Amino acid sequence: MSTGTAEDLQVSPHASDGNHAIAYLGPGRVEVQTIDYPDFVLRDGPGVNPANVGRRVDHGVVLKLVATNICGSDQHMVRGRTTAPPNLVLGHEITGEVVEKGRDVEFLDIGDLVSVPFNIACGRCRNCKERKTGICLNVNPDRPGSAYGYVDMGGWVGGQAEYVLVPYADFNALKFPDKAQAMEKILDLAMLSDIFPTGFHGCVSAGVTVGSTVYVAGAGPVGLAAAAGAQLLGAAVVIVGDLNAERLERARSFGCETVDVSRGDPRDQIEQILGVPEVDCGVDAVGFEARGHGEGAKREAPATVLNSLMELTAAGGALGVPGLYVTGDPGGVDEAAKKGSLSLDLGTGWAKSLSFTTGQCPVMKYNRQLMMAILHDRVQIAKAVGATPISLEEAPDAYARFDAGAPQKFVIDPHGLIPR
Q: What is the pLDDT of residue 8?
A: 40
Q: What is the pLDDT of residue 13?
A: 64
Q: Note the pLDDT tens digit of each residue in 99-132.
A: 999 999 999 999 999 999 999 999 999 999 999 9
Q: Which segments of 194-292 are extended strands (E)?
A: 213-217, 237-242, 257-260, 279-284
Q: What is the pLDDT of residue 296?
A: 80
Asked if the model's pLDDT at residue 282 lies above 70, the reply is yes
Asked if the model's pLDDT at residue 341 lies above 70, the reply is yes
Q: What is the pLDDT of residue 383?
A: 97
- Tell which wins on pLDDT, 260 or 7: 260
Percent of the chain topping pLDDT 90:
85
What angle in degrees, to the nearest 10, is found between the helix axes of 221-232 and 245-253? 20
Q: Which segments of 27-139 are extended strands (E)?
A: 29-34, 61-69, 88-89, 93-101, 113-116
Q: Note the pLDDT tens digit of each residue in 60-90.
A: 999 999 999 999 999 999 999 999 999 999 9
Q: Note the pLDDT tens digit of each residue in 213-226.
A: 999 999 999 999 99
Q: What is the pLDDT of residue 327?
A: 85
Asked if the model's pLDDT at residue 2 lies above 50, the reply is no
Q: How many residues does the chain have?
A: 420
Per-residue pLDDT band for 15 (boundaries 50, 70, 90) equals low
The span from the CA of 98 to the CA of 235, in Å, is 38
Averaged pLDDT of the chain: 94
Q: Are 43 and 107 in contact (CB under 8 A)?
A: no
Q: Note the pLDDT tens digit of each residue in 290-340.
A: 988 988 888 888 899 999 999 999 999 999 999 999 888 888 888 988 888
Residue 126's contacts (CB-CB under 8 Å, 6 or more residues apart) are 137
Torsions phi, psi for 74 (to 5 deg): -60, -40
Q: Are 286 and 217 in contact (CB under 8 A)?
A: yes
Q: Are 245 and 408 in contact (CB under 8 A)?
A: no
The residue type of 244 is N
| Number of Cβ atoms within 10 Å of the Cβ of 252 | 12
Q: Are 329 and 81 in contact (CB under 8 A)?
A: yes
Q: What is the pLDDT of residue 213?
A: 98
Q: What is the pLDDT of residue 17?
A: 67
Per-residue pLDDT band for 16 (boundaries 50, 70, 90) equals low
In eight-state DSSP terms, residue 161 is B
| Number of Cβ atoms within 10 Å of the Cβ of 278 | 18
Ordered structural domains, the chain, with CATH:
6-194+362-412 (3.90.180.10), 199-357 (3.40.50.720)
